[in-house]
Structure 1
């Protein structure tokens, strides 16, 4: 592994950790970076999921003040993320790699659409959410969080965007509090999926990649929690879209 490759993966992990903390979709940075250096798709995805857990920890810690008002709700939602992550991770391991390579471009394309439409979704949600969450809304939220967990356990790109859009519609809280909740749920999904991968198919884990992504993501999560909100949204979205398109091209060629 060359010095250039090591530096590129660490920087990608740092950028992904920051993006995941602020918005989500950090996998759209690290995953195509690993593909660029020739790592197999499934192994790259599993190793990337393990490495990004470090960024989830620092990102959630950085948003601890915003998380406090939603602590009781998060206790209710955490099992849904846990179950969804297990299902998604098992699907990744059971389905053949050819299926993964066929499905991922579609998932990335969907993620990019959500990233681009994110501001409109949030603006619409701000005009329609209620002052409190009812029993019916809680059930819908639990189901939605579980499916987001399945998606995150399988691939993960734009899981944060899915969670933010959904919770913005169903919760009366402000966007920063919702973003903090997203960081906690995303961390649960990534950690749970990582444990499934370790137990069932440890041979797919590239520990060098895990370590490099984790180093970058750890500091990226801290950076994202402190200064990420100051980044121009258009620049962040444009970067994600460009990298996502590159990933789609790499997978399809």
Structure 2
């Protein structure tokens, strides 16, 4: 590996880490770079999963204040997406490449639409609950939301492009919690999915450790820096960034 290639991988990790904490489309930056460097797609996917684990650690540390506000919610999402990530990693090692990639851009575009419409949808749902005599704020996931959370975790462990956008869309429609707190929960859940998937890849599959290490170094710093930026963004700006990032990711997949 040349010095220029090494610097490119570190820079890629830095950018991907920043996106982990803000718009949730990190893999759409790092995965294509690894493939462009000559890695086979499956090896690139596994190496990418391992290399981006520190981005979740960095963003989790940067958003620790928001994470502490909803410990039970975070425990559930961690457990479900962690289990899903392990299942997704098993699918990656068993299924032909490209099973999820074909539908990924349409899923991302759909969830971007949900994020954009979330304020109106949430207001409509809140009005319906009030008309039906249901009071109180929704602070925990329903059984159906738990199943979708598990499915997003599976997708995150298998491929993961736009999984953060999908997770945020689910959270904002399922819960009456501030967007900043939900963004922190989303970052934490994606960490769990990548962590369990990476653990399986490290144990039973092949990983390019040189590339993974450089990617990890950049993503750790980028994740923390991105968390600090995300914390300061108004809800409308953060929502707009998620929509823009998710749309760009979907278009990138469709054109690739």
Aligned to 1:107: 104
Alignment of 1:154-169 (within 5 A): 154-169=158-173
Separation in structure 2 between the aligned mates of residue 81 and residue 2 of structure 1, nearest angstrom: 37
Aligned to 2:132: none
SS in 1 for 2:189: helix
Q: Give, in angstroms, the shift of residue 134 of structure 1.
A: 8.1
Q: Give, in angstroms, the shift of residue 118 of structure 1.
A: 2.8
Aligned to 2:229: 227
1:81, 1:188 within 8 Å by CA — same for their partners in 2?
A: yes
Alignment of 1:1-253 (within 5 A): 1-96=1-96, 100-101=97-98, 103-115=100-112, 118-121=115-118, 123-125=120-122, 127-129=124-126, 131-133=136-138, 137-201=141-205, 203=206, 205-228=207-230, 229-230=232-233, 238=244, 241-242=247-248, 245-250=251-256
Q: How many residues align?
A: 244
Separation in structure 1 between the aligned mates of residue 57 and residue 105 of structure 2, nearest angstrom: 24
Provide, for residues 195-223 of structure 1, a one-character-per-residue CA deviation record: whole Å limited to 9, x for no partner: 1111221x2x1111211211111111111
Provide, for residues 140-191 of structure 1, a one-character-per-residue CA deviation record: whole Å limited to 9, x for no partner: 2211111111010101111111111111111111100111111111111110
Separation in structure 2 between the aligned mates of residue 134 and residue 242 of structure 1, nearest angstrom: 31
Separation in structure 2 between the aligned mates of residue 5 and residue 112 of structure 1, nearest angstrom: 32
Cα 1:54/1:236, change in 2 over 3 Å: same
Cα 1:245/1:170, change in 2 over 3 Å: closer
The structure in which a higher percent of residues are helix is 1
Question: Please, which runs of 5 or more residues in structure 2 have no aligned partner?
Answer: 130-135
Cα 1:86/1:235, change in 2 over 3 Å: closer
Cα 1:70/1:159, change in 2 over 3 Å: same
Question: Please, which runs of 5 or more residues in structure 1 have no aligned partner?
Answer: none
Separation in structure 2 between the aligned mates of residue 165 and residue 236 of structure 1, nearest angstrom: 10
Cα 1:65/1:104, change in 2 over 3 Å: same
1:122, 1:165 within 8 Å by CA — same for their partners in 2?
A: no
**TM-score normalised by length of structure 1:** 0.85
Separation in structure 1 between the aligned mates of residue 146 and residue 44 of structure 2, nearest angstrom: 30
Q: What do you get for the CA RMSD once the two structures are aligned?
A: 2.5
Q: Give, in angstroms, the shift of residue 94 of structure 1.
A: 0.5
Q: Give, in angstroms, the shift of residue 103 of structure 1.
A: 3.5
Separation in structure 1 between the aligned mates of residue 212 and residue 108 of structure 2, nearest angstrom: 23
